[in-house]
Amino acid sequence: MISPLRPVAALAVLSMAMPGLAAAGPVTAAAIEAVTYEGGELPSGQSALTAKVQVMLDRAGVSPGVIDGIKGGMSRSAIAAFERRSGLPADGAMDPQVWAALQPFAGGAMTTSYTITDADVSQLTTHIPTDYLEKANMTSLGYTSVAEKLGERFHMDDRFIAAMNPGVALTAGAVIQVIAPTKPLRARVARILIEKGTNRVAAYDAEGHMVVNYPATIGSAETPSPSGSHTVRAVAMNPEYTYNPAINFTQGANKSVLVLPPGPNGPVGTVWIALSKPTYGLHGTPTPSRLFVSESHGCVRLTNWDAEELAHMVQPGVTSVEFLEKGTTLADVMGEARGTSKAVQAAVASAATASAASAATLASTTLLSSAPPMARPPHILRVPEVGASGATMPATAMPAAGLPQVTIPPAGVVPLPGAVLPRTHIPPGR
């Protein structure tokens, strides 16, 4: 992470690393509010227009990943996903049709002022080591900076916070400009399609309407993600993570089973959505800006805030998860886009009446990923299972709010990786 106390140096490094950034001019809150689309592609580098488009996509439930104002692969893929849901040609290019389709999500301010609190600057983790044994000896894998903590709360890259607030130290009492928070969408997701060719995850309701669409890291060449269709088994929020080299990968020189504490900087972030295929799942990540750069050990990584949103919409034992191989698209499986989900309609209504968020609103929209991590949280018992070690384990799960709990009979499968379980039971991790 780049220190929030050195924003000028951070921007200098960013300018050299990303051609066109310096020439685009400063991206201020005022610039984001005032800018409008006048045709053509999005500007190269970092721009107020790209930031505004990213905010509207985020409100629409088509995640651009981190909001950073930079025209890149995740933003282009988000535009293509939004075009797909809107019934437009999905080429990922900005055009007047896309801009018009985004306007229902343009209501209210795009940015807002936020006063940093004492809680924001407290309970930070000094350092996150790379070695898993060192991580296992920590009490939590929390945020390492105020910028990182606020970045997750407002869906922003922490470097973008520095760019929007040049010269401002991120200390308690400081007033900064941030992206106005977006309320998570709520729906019952019946089907999830994981598109390996685009590195995106699409979730559909029972009527076949696309509800949300997220950028993702989907396996790697060495450890590819599964194929075929599976089912969501359970959901663990803010989970511990169990590393077991006998079942999955080997990290460094660590040859023994280790239990890593919970926290947003843990290997699976703040959420684990377990699949019926043993040891596989969808989960959060400690590095949201690198989803299209990083590789996973076969699982599907989302930003923590996207994973948290999805965790409240899946139905354990009901929601199917299908992996689409490269060359197979959403259109091949779902046909042409038809209609709009009730969740998206609600998001449109909310955006139409949105206004600059008050401090109270900001507090109420704090996600799990932006809250202080809990050290060894109590597990939520569901249906007991017998794990590979012979110990009794709970099928750790948190069903979506308002949804009926689904009984999932024991299947003799390998225990859930990363689940919040009693310390007497060690499940494998991925």
Catalytic center residues: 283, 299
Look at residue 135 and give its three-state secondary structure. helix
Q: How far apart are the first and last CA of the chain?
A: 25
What single-letter amino acid sits at 163?
Answer: A
* Contacting residues for 383 by C-beta, under 8 A, at least 6 apart: 394, 395, 407, 408, 409, 410
C-alpha–C-alpha distance, residues 343 and 349, integer Å: 10
Task: Name the DSSP class of 364.
Answer: H
- Comparing C-alpha atoms, which of 248, 293, 283, 270 is closest to residue 368? 270
Residue pointed to by tokens 């992996």: 323
Instruction: Please report, as a single letter, which amino acid is at residue 7.
Output: P
User: CB within 8 A of 233, min separation 6: which ones?
Assistant: 274, 275, 276, 316, 317, 395, 397, 408, 416
Helix (H) or strand (E) holding 136: helix 132-136
Q: Which two tokens stand for residue 213?
A: 């669409």
Calpha distance 225→241 (Å, rounded): 19
Quote the Cα angle for 161-167-172, to 5°: 70
Token digits for 217?
């890291």
What tokens were used for 296? 């996973």
The neighbour count for residue 374, using CB atoms within 10 Å, is 16
Buried b (16+ CB within 10 A) or exposed e, 200-210: bbbbbbeeebb
